[in-house]
Chain A
Amino acid sequence: MHITEFQEELLKKAVDAGFKEAEAYYERSESFQCMIFEGEIDSYETSEDSGLGLRGLYNGKMGYAYTEKIDEDSIPFLIESAKANAEVLDEDDGSNIFEGSKEYANHAFYSEELAKIQIQEKIELIKSIEKKVLAYDPRIVTLNYCVLQDFSGDRMLANNKGLSLKEKKNGLVIFISTVVKNGEEMKTGSFIKLTRDFGSLDADKIAKEAAEEALSNLGEQSIPAGKYTIIMRHDAAASLLATFTPIFSAENTQKDQSLLKGKVGVKVASDVLTLLDDPFHPDAVAGSNFDGEGVATKTHAIVSNGILETLLHNRKTARLDGVETTGHAHKASYKSTLTITPLNMFIAPGEKSKADLMASIADGVLITNLSGLHSGTNTISGDFSVAATGFHIKDGKISTPVKQMTIAGNFFDFINDIEEIGSDLNFLPGGYGSPSLRVKELSVTVD
């Protein structure tokens, strides 16, 4: 059954079954992934899949259901399930289906050029990267991951209020994890890059960066535990920011799950901090022209010079707070209910290089990687205590790598303690970005 026919019939039957309003959200994607091990293709994966979610207003309540089996039989399953799910909800929370924004941006998240690249060409690139990394230095033992993945997909949102939106996206990711050894000391370093510009991928440059990232971790030394001035490298800073974005969600402030409740217009961070969300940022690759409810997206300043300008809203939270939606309704997939997340949230860059940020630090720590973020952080209290990789900064310069560390602090203090912001803005594949940050202090413990 063709998808547009299926959507039309589903919406019609849903209305016949008593749904006042209904929306069909469809996604289709294709992917290719290839992992190289010692010059050979170790694993090769392709996929083509699709699924559809129904969201509908039944007796004033919003019911949800989804299926990956798109055939005639699934229509009654979707309608009956969505009805049962609506019926069990406690109350009419005032949600409804959106009739559409006046205007939508027309930003492209799809590259025709990328779509034309042949599988063979991609395999050759990733093979040559592996070869170049292995040849880079005798201390490189192996690559425990050397993966190229590309994806393309489209999503369609249609509802019985006449809204019909479509968007295409694609992208390509390279992920490398290099294992290095010197005597008994074993370290790893990882490299990840998401792009739509295949031509920009230079095997020599990638191999050098991947190899250096791992090699730089050799020669670790211990340093005394204590409070240190911190340089948080751009990628570590972006991953910390990504972990704590739930604090900016109005859904969480409304449920007493965020300490930013009642703080709009109040200073919550250092004067130097400006936090933006730009769905169309050219460096971010991720992004979208419409959100999970079909609202047109746009750029927002979340924090300007330390002042909280707005929370992230969908239509429901905006109505409860008496403001306009910010277009941050998020549907992770057709399987998901609506949540709130930023699109490409990033810290606005400053002017100094990472080296300049470090120059005046007599005794500090440069953090290059954080792990255990899913477990060592509490987005409600803001507390974090996570494992970290990094370097000792001595007399304004990187001295040696430090043994496995933990860094501990509180995110609300952290954003107040940012002293300077670097110029090296970089985005993670998930769409979160940051330049390197100089932070007053964090507790560091060394293994």
Chain B
Amino acid sequence: MIKQSIIENVIEAALSTGGDFSEVFIEDKYVNRLELQSGKLEKSISGRDFGIGIRIFSGLQSIYTYTTDFSEEGLLLAAKRAAHAIKGGANGTIHPLRKEAFNPIHQIAQMPRTVKHARKVEFMRKANEIARNYDERIRQVGLRYIDEEQHVLIANSEGKFVEDTRVHSRLSIQATASDGVEMQTGFYGPGAHAGFEFIENLDLEHYAGEAARIAITMLGADECPSGKFPVIIDNEFGGVIFHEACGHGLEATSVAKNNSVFANRIGEKVAPDIVTYIDDGTLPNEWGSLNVDDEGEKTRKNVLIENGILKGYLIDKFNARRMNAEATGSSRRESYRFNPTSRMTNTYIAPGTSTPEEIIASTENGLYAKYMGGGSVNPATGDYNFAVSEAYLVKNGKIDRPVRGATLIGNGAKTLQLVDKVGNNLAHGAGMCGSISGSLPVNVGQPMIRISEITVGGTKGE
């Protein structure tokens, strides 16, 4: 993308004022986004993102600059502008660049750029038909298709020189149902670190059908009562609760500065024995997977909690310094515009032994969250909140009527202690996670789990 000799000069210029580590991240990304609304293809846009991020460390100080000026002169100017922030000190050591080859874990069969738009639209139309035909009360269906082909080159003063291509494909379906008075929506957004083969093999009947079914179900739903109940959260995207409630608190971003309830607690029991929590960027072609992270480190399977005991954190190169620990292949950034930091990839609760039927049958009075919406967390306190997109009351061990407007709130560290059932049906769901290094594709996953008590906020009152 850019000549190696120029990259070497930039690495050197970045260290000219006393920095001890420098890195160049070059990104060249092609994007296609299409939108179908009311059965019509209304939007289609293509683009090319191209830019360079330069990072310097000087002890516990991190300096970052980015530019879209790819001329040697522009790049050297950017490197010097960043280096200017460091005052004095000896120049860091520069090792000659050694190109690292690796066998990509995530095979791409069909590059999306080689596929005509019309072919992409065919699948959008099919999904649209399925959702429309589900029920006459489905008034509106919105489809969003996106593909991205991101080429990165990462080189640093330690001699690292890695190139990688990441391909992402996603189709999101939003169905809106109306009975003339109120409107409700259902959403499903499958995605993968894969080419167009992912879209071709997608079970559209399932995904578009579910989006429509959720909207229709919620249309007739009662308002959700408020109170403290046992809550059963179904598998797949249900894992978003642990993503927020505990995953963010295990990122070095908050651990390194003791801003997390999980800081300095390795080896401690933080959850019941039945809880094992893993982040694994190597799962083949999963939405949150990568061959190498955005510092060029190979991704790996990081066990964070094993049988209830805190085993590890997600650590990037910079926070590794403050924590005096090793990086874990978890450093990510949305694009060259972001200073990378520790982030999740595919994070999940490992399967247990209970069957979903057993879990429901053993719940006398509670809430069953079949599909979760998004949520957020305050990493310093661990206080989280979530929306439930499809919820039901559970009565005497049976799923009762659907309820809408359920929100779950609580504290991550406390909720983790209250997991009392872990099912055997692990599955993963695709989402976007927003944090300081931007918005990233991540998978959240879990089998069905039960939490003995969560505060449920609803519109109906107690």
Binding site for B on A (CB under 8 A): 37, 40-51, 53, 63-70, 74, 77, 81-82, 84-91, 93, 142, 144, 177, 179, 186-188, 225-227, 255-257, 259, 335-337, 371-372, 374-376, 378, 380-381, 383, 385-387, 404-410, 443, 445-447
Residues A42 and B458 in contact in the complex (CB < 8 Å), given A225-B227, A372-B385: no
Distance between Cα atoms of A408 and B43 in the complex (Å): 34
Distance between Cα atoms of A407 and B410 in the complex (Å): 14
Q: Which of A77, A89, A376, A405 contacts B44 (CB 8 A)?
A: A89
B183 on the interface (CB 8 Å rule)?
Answer: yes
Interface contact A443-B226, CB-CB below 8 Å: yes
Distance between Cα atoms of A227 and B460 in the complex (Å): 10
Among the 9-residue stretches B56-64, B159-167, B273-281, B358-366, the one with 4 or more Cβ atoms under 8 Å from chain A is: B56-64
Interface contact A256-B140, CB-CB below 8 Å: yes
CB contact list, B178-202 vs A, under 8 A: 178, 182-185
Mask of B72-84 contacts with A, CB within 8 angstroms, 1/0: 0000001001100
B100 contacts across to A, CB distance below 8 A: none
Interface contact B65-A376, CB-CB below 8 Å: no
Interface contact B64-A387, CB-CB below 8 Å: no
User: Nearest chain-A residue to B219 (Cβ)?
Assistant: A381
Q: How far is the CB of A283 from chain B (nearest CB, A)?
A: 28
B62 contacts across to A, CB distance below 8 A: 42-44
Interface contact B68-A387, CB-CB below 8 Å: no
Binding site for A on B (CB under 8 A): 28, 34, 37-38, 40-51, 60-70, 78, 81-82, 85, 117-118, 121, 139-140, 176, 178, 182-185, 224, 226-227, 254, 257-259, 261, 337, 339, 373-376, 378-381, 383-387, 404-407, 409-411, 455-462
Q: Which of A65, A66, A82, A225 contacts B462 (CB 8 A)?
A: A225
Interface contact A256-B139, CB-CB below 8 Å: yes
A410 contacts across to B, CB distance below 8 A: 459
Interface contact A387-B407, CB-CB below 8 Å: yes
Q: How far is the CB of A196 from chain B (nearest CB, A)?
A: 23
Interface contact A387-B40, CB-CB below 8 Å: no
Q: How far is the CB of A286 from chain B (nearest CB, A)?
A: 20
Distance between Cα atoms of A50 and B51 in the complex (Å): 9
Interface contact B41-A89, CB-CB below 8 Å: yes
- 19 additional A-B residue pairs with CB within 8 Å, beyond A43-B339, A445-B457, A446-B455: A43-B62, A44-B85, A47-B67, A50-B68, A66-B48, A74-B48, A85-B44, A89-B41, A89-B43, A142-B258, A144-B257, A188-B381, A225-B461, A226-B462, A255-B38, A335-B47, A380-B176, A406-B409, A408-B407
Interface contact A41-B459, CB-CB below 8 Å: no
B60 contacts across to A, CB distance below 8 A: 40, 42
B118 contacts across to A, CB distance below 8 A: 88
Interface contact B82-A46, CB-CB below 8 Å: yes
Interface contact A47-B65, CB-CB below 8 Å: yes
User: Nearest chain-A residue to B28 (Cβ)?
Assistant: A69
Interface contact B46-A85, CB-CB below 8 Å: yes
User: Nearest chain-B residue to A186 (Cβ)?
Assistant: B381
Distance between Cα atoms of A335 and B386 in the complex (Å): 30
Interface contact B380-A46, CB-CB below 8 Å: no
Interface contact A42-B61, CB-CB below 8 Å: yes
Interface contact B46-A64, CB-CB below 8 Å: yes
Q: Which 6 A-B pairs have the closest CB atoms?
A: A406-B457, A375-B374, A387-B385, A445-B457, A85-B44, A81-B46
Interface contact A385-B406, CB-CB below 8 Å: yes
Distance between Cα atoms of A313 and B47 in the complex (Å): 26
Interface contact A188-B117, CB-CB below 8 Å: no
B461 contacts across to A, CB distance below 8 A: 225-227, 443
Q: How far is the CB of A331 from chain B (nearest CB, A)?
A: 11
Distance between Cα atoms of A49 and B129 in the complex (Å): 42
User: Nearest chain-A residue to B69 (Cβ)?
Assistant: A48
Q: Which of B140, B380, B407 contacts A372 (CB 8 A)?
A: B407
Distance between Cα atoms of A189 and B74 in the complex (Å): 40
16 contacts between A and B (CB under 8 A): A40-B61, A42-B62, A43-B339, A44-B63, A48-B78, A49-B67, A64-B44, A69-B28, A84-B117, A88-B44, A91-B40, A179-B259, A376-B385, A385-B224, A406-B226, A406-B409
Most buried by A among B46, B50, B139, B176: B46
Q: Which of A90, A227, A375, A446 contacts B386 (CB 8 A)?
A: A375
Residues A45 and B50 in contact in the complex (CB < 8 Å), given A375-B386, A385-B406, A443-B460: no
Distance between Cα atoms of A210 and B43 in the complex (Å): 43
Interface contact A376-B407, CB-CB below 8 Å: yes
Q: Which of B378, B379, B457 contacts A408 (CB 8 A)?
A: B457
User: Nearest chain-B residue to A61 (Cβ)?
Assistant: B44
B374 contacts across to A, CB distance below 8 A: 372, 374-375
Interface contact A447-B458, CB-CB below 8 Å: no
A408 contacts across to B, CB distance below 8 A: 226, 405, 407, 457-459
Q: How far is the CB of B55 from chain A (nearest CB, A)?
A: 9
A85 contacts across to B, CB distance below 8 A: 44-46, 117
User: Nearest chain-B residue to A224 (Cβ)?
Assistant: B462
Distance between Cα atoms of A336 and B45 in the complex (Å): 8
A371 contacts across to B, CB distance below 8 A: 376, 378, 385
Interface contact A64-B45, CB-CB below 8 Å: yes
A383 contacts across to B, CB distance below 8 A: 404-405, 459
Q: How far is the CB of A277 from chain B (nearest CB, A)?
A: 25
Interface contact A376-B373, CB-CB below 8 Å: yes
Q: How far is the CB of B210 from chain A (nearest CB, A)?
A: 18
A93 contacts across to B, CB distance below 8 A: 42
Distance between Cα atoms of A183 and B90 in the complex (Å): 45
B66 contacts across to A, CB distance below 8 A: 47-49
Interface contact B407-A144, CB-CB below 8 Å: no
Distance between Cα atoms of A378 and B388 in the complex (Å): 12
User: Nearest chain-A residue to B228 (Cβ)?
Assistant: A447
Q: How far is the CB of B384 from chain A (nearest CB, A)?
A: 8
Interface contact A255-B376, CB-CB below 8 Å: no
